[in-house]
Amino acid sequence: MRGAFRIAAPIISTLNAGALRLSRTPPALLLLERSPRSSFHRLFSGSLPMANRSPPPSTSTTASETLDSSSSSMEKQFEGFRVQLEESGNVRERIRAVVMEMEGAVRLMHSSLLLVHHTRPNPEVLEKAKVQIEVLKDLFGGLAEILRECPGQYYRYHGDWRSETQAAVSLIAFLHWLETGNLLVHAEAEKKLGLDNSEFGLDIEDYLIGICFMSNELPRYVVNQVTAGDYDCPKNVLKFLTNLHSAFRMLNLRNDFLRKKFDGMKYDLRKVEEVYYDVKIRGLGSGDTMQGHATQA
């Protein structure tokens, strides 16, 4: 009996200690019980259901209104884009119609000037080419009228007639050189085309590229003129091209199309030099012939 009591006594004391611990109030609950009712209410009011509480405001209406306003502003923006693109397209169509007529006038002028490569220049050939200058002048006036309707947009549409302008300048400059032997300056080219620098002027790069195109015609012209018996032509063309090439070297040109055309002018100059050298060593020029007679005497 005493042995059984010895065994059960530790068990009973352990159970009593556990019961004592369970009967004690946890410190957290003691703090909550001692705190004011308002603090306890604030702590648990967020998690306890309340019948009188109003439901939270719904966000679906606000999100829908935001999407509607965003969609409206997007449509308004692209509607403006549509109107601008349609207006720009109409302007380009009108410009292309004028440019097509310019292409025709340039082709007719070029075909007229081709005759100077086969015969010596005569007034009839030059006058026939001059007729197209007046046509081009009227067409450039038409372009100016179109661009007055959209001020400040010159360089936006400039590429639509740029190549035709360069070709026109080259032919007019060549015609001017045939008549005077001098270079057609920028201000005079604008005047012949009826352009006004304040509103619709001749772009400087277009003018320079046109002059480079004109220089490409000179080597062929020199060869054909020597064949026709004009032995002084190479000397005159060589002097003109040398001065023109020296003037171009004053410009700080970038690696663009104008620079490439200027580089081509060096080969034009070299071809004319070769023709002039052949004429000179054969004593066919007027000065060379006189020198040859003096030597024989």
**DSSP labels for 139-167?**
HHHHHHHHHHTSTT-HHHHGGGTHHHHHH
Share of the chain above pLDDT 90, in %: 51
Domain residues for the domain of 231 are 218-297
230 in the same domain as 195: no
Q: What's the CA angle centered on 238, arms 235 and 240, to 5 degrees?
A: 110
Given its phi and psi angles, is residue 128 left (phi above 0), alpha (psi -120 to 50 degrees) or beta? alpha
pLDDT of residue 256: 87
CATH number for the domain harbouring residue 285: 1.20.58.200
Confidence of residue 66 (pLDDT cuts 50, 70, 90): confident
Mean pLDDT to the nearest integer, 103-107: 95
Mean pLDDT to the nearest integer, 199-214: 93
The pLDDT tens digits for 184-200 are: 999 999 999 999 877 78
In the predicted structure, residue 242 carries a pLDDT above the cut 90: yes
224 in the same domain as 196: no
Domain tally, the chain:
2
In the predicted structure, residue 117 carries a pLDDT above the cut 70: yes
* Contact between 265 and 247 (Cβ < 8 Å): no
